Structure 1
Amino acid sequence: MAINESIVSRRARYPAGPVRRLRSFGQWLVRAPWLIVTSFLLLGVVVSLAIAVWPQQVPWGVYTFLVVASGLFLEPRLLIVVFVGLFLAMATLGVVLGTAKSATLGAQLVTVATMVLMLWLSHARAEAGVVGVGGESMLVDMRDRLRAQGELPTLPPPWGAEVALESAYGDGFAGDFVVANRSTDGRMLEVALVDVSGKGREAGARSLLLSGALGGLLGEMSEGGFLPSANNHLLRLRWSEGFATAVHVALDLETGEFTIGYAGHPAAAQYAAGSGRWRMLAGGRGPLLGVIEGAQFPRESGVIRRGDALVLYSDGVIEARDKALTDGIDRMLGRAESFIRTGFEGLAQRLCDQAAAGLGDDRAVVTIWRG
């Protein structure tokens, strides 16, 4: 109940009345395309009259503005109606004004080119099943949902955890994502870091599709059943060239005992406070997800003691075209060694920022530590 109350109070801070009315008005406009068509045609008439009265003051570019604006709200069939009307108005006005209006032919060519571009864009949106500017809003909502699923649950003292996700070249979508779950009794924490084939926008759709399904598996399967179930799910999807790597860790927050398994993913690193050194957890290796039917995914066991930490990461953190993989691992551990002198907080983001691949690949890091 307390969580629900906090959500309500957070929403109540925003002036919901005007925002909701504006959003409803925009949705109503999209559902009334005849009104949009009529409005743009009337605007075309107004623009034509303005150019006829003030030929030197009003530029031809106003027609281009109407072309772009109408292309954002109309489907191709209705958009052609508006474009035909605007072009006829512009052509007729050019003949009537003659030399009184300069650059007529050039302005018409630019307007026609813009019409072709907007028709192509409108057609692409229609194939995706979205009309108007709602498509971008839908993508933003999907991206935010993917990021929200990657948020780690609150952990009890002395535990701490952070996640850092960076897409290739700062793109809005990435092929790396994280799903996490804490059991209802609060004792078990499960985290899976998944790297879908491809990067940036190429892998964004696959990440959106997989994150919900794999997030639903956490907590519903035994710790040893997560990776086999994820593998079966990808096989059922029958992607022609799609596969994924993953690392899954199940941690007992009371004892610090954990098990970890991999599906073609780089080995995690554990920091031992007693020795002050990092070691790679190379056991529990398994094949890629979505490639081999009935694949086995063994697991490695360990313990996170006071002062210890566990780091999960994707290949973008350690891989570089001109260096061996072992060099990338040594580089990451060297960076981690210098960073932890001030504590584990912020380590995930620092490792992402100084990844071997730079900005050219998706990067993801999850750090879990016991204070």
Structure 2
Amino acid sequence: MVAAPSSDRLASVPARRVFSRRWNRALRRYRSTEFTWMLLLGLLTVVIGAGMYQFVGIVPVSALIIPMVMANSVLGPRSLPWFVVFVLGVMVVVVAATAEEALDGRRVGGIVVAFLVGLVILVSSFRRSQLGVAGARGESMLVDLRDRITKQGLIPKLPDAWYAESVTRSAGASSFAGDFMVGSLSRDGSRFQVVVVDVSGKGEQAGTRSLLLSGAFGGLLGAMPPAEFLPAANDYLLRQDWLEGFATAVHLSVALDTGEFEIRSAGHPPAVQMKAGSGRWAVHESEGPILGLMPDAEFKAVCGRLNHGDALLMFTDGLVETPTRDISLGIDKLLGQGERLLRSGFEKGAVRLINQSPAVNDDRALFLLHRR
């Protein structure tokens, strides 16, 4: 027969557990909400207000701008307006209580500046309410989007007999660009595919569309036969029904064991191949309409072979076209630079080539594939 536990233990143990669970739940809730920041910034506001009241003329009215600016970075659009009203209310109360002692032009100027800063923060908060996140969280989301675009543009590791390199530069040194590339290696490692895309627009204007397209094209690239990739990408763009929903692209599919390749283009600058035997460049012109403009588009393939020592370049028009120069002249200039630069080796050749191109207000992307 087992002795029953005492009634005191039965009562005390559940009570401790219930209290511990409630305490941990409250901590998690406060960490996940803005309560802690509201409390800290509220205390800071009260301390500054008390300093303004106690040390008139020493603590300026503009000191209350500090908690408002901090709140603009950490509080969400729902609680930020109420906090700004609270700060301005503290300022009004303190100024009214000390108006007889010191209310000169300098103090009035500080009050006006504080109200203007609060107004700017309120306006930005109302605009931010469409997104529903605070300033720091919104910035972290943009950083995450940028990192995802960069990660999707990474070229998979190829066999030792092959060297691949990709470089993307955005207009105005922005972290977002309308040019991107996506690579895919088959499961058995026998076929490599890459697509270089130029979305309409540039910089931040095309950054959101390029993010969406890079994810969609990355899924299509590894899941569909090479001949069906561009038609599927074209259908996807047509379904989006964007006002500026067109894009150009060049698609490469190469068998890594034989070096045989197929190139298909959708209104994109042609790919170029440097043949090690002759040391000359061959331009592979392939026909195809721009993506997102017409349904049931057909894309003809240009076939070739990469022998040992050969190299293949694919790029966007920002690298070869300027407002004062035709694209054909830009391609000739790029090939001349490539012939000189690549004599010293293909390692980091794409970076050296894109650094030699003139700085223009357009996104640029370059892909280099070399068979050792």
Q: 1:223 to 1:77 in 2, by over 3 A?
A: closer
Q: Aligned pair 1:219/2:218, yes or no?
A: no
Calculate percent identity across the aligned residue pairs: 41
Per mean C-alpha deviation after superposition, the further-off stretch among 329-338 and 263-272 is 329-338
Instruction: State how 1:100-115 maps to structure 2 within 5 Å.
Output: 100=102, 103-115=106-118
**Structure 2 partner of 1:278:** 281
Instruction: State how 1:24-173 maps to structure 2 within 5 Å.
Output: 31-98=32-99, 100=102, 103-173=106-176
Deviation at 1:132, TM superposition (A): 4.7
Classify the secondary structure of the residue corresponding to 1:133: helix
Q: How many residues align?
A: 345
Q: Aligned pair 1:305/2:307, yes or no?
A: yes
For 1:168, give the aligned amino acid. A
Partner of residue 290 from structure 2, selected from 288, 291, 309: 288
Rounded Cα–Cα distance in structure 2 between residues aligned with 1:151 and 1:33:
37
For 1:308, give the aligned amino acid. D
Deviation at 1:101, TM superposition (A): 6.4
Q: TM-score, normalised by structure 2?
A: 0.88
**Structure 2 partner of 1:325:** 327
Rounded Cα–Cα distance in structure 2 between residues aligned with 1:268 and 1:101:
73
Aligned-residue CA RMSD (Å): 2.0
Deviation at 1:28, TM superposition (A): 5.6
Q: Aligned pair 1:267/2:276, yes or no?
A: no
Rounded Cα–Cα distance in structure 1 between residues aligned with 2:276 and 2:103:
79
Does the 8 Å contact 2:191/2:253 carry over to 1? yes
For 1:328, give the aligned amino acid. G
**Structure 2 partner of 1:13:** none
Rounded Cα–Cα distance in structure 2 between residues aligned with 1:241 and 1:27:
44
Deviation at 1:77, TM superposition (A): 3.7
**Structure 2 partner of 1:190:** 193
Q: 1:244 to 1:65 in 2, by over 3 A?
A: same
Deviation at 1:31, TM superposition (A): 3.8
Rounded Cα–Cα distance in structure 2 between residues aligned with 1:197 and 1:124:
26
Superposed CA offset, 1:312-362 (max 9, x none):
001100011111222211111111111011111222112222334x14111
Partner of residue 347 from structure 1, selected from 335, 349, 355: 349
**Structure 2 partner of 1:230:** 233
Classify the secondary structure of the residue corresponding to 1:71: helix
Rounded Cα–Cα distance in structure 1 between residues aligned with 2:55 and 2:347:
64
Deviation at 1:294, TM superposition (A): 0.5
Deviation at 1:113, TM superposition (A): 1.9
Runs of 4+ off more than 4 Å: 25-30
Per mean C-alpha deviation after superposition, the further-off stretch among 347-356 and 139-148 is 347-356
When Rg is computed on C-alpha atoms for both structures, the one with the higher figure is 2
Rounded Cα–Cα distance in structure 2 between residues aligned with 1:268 and 1:250:
12
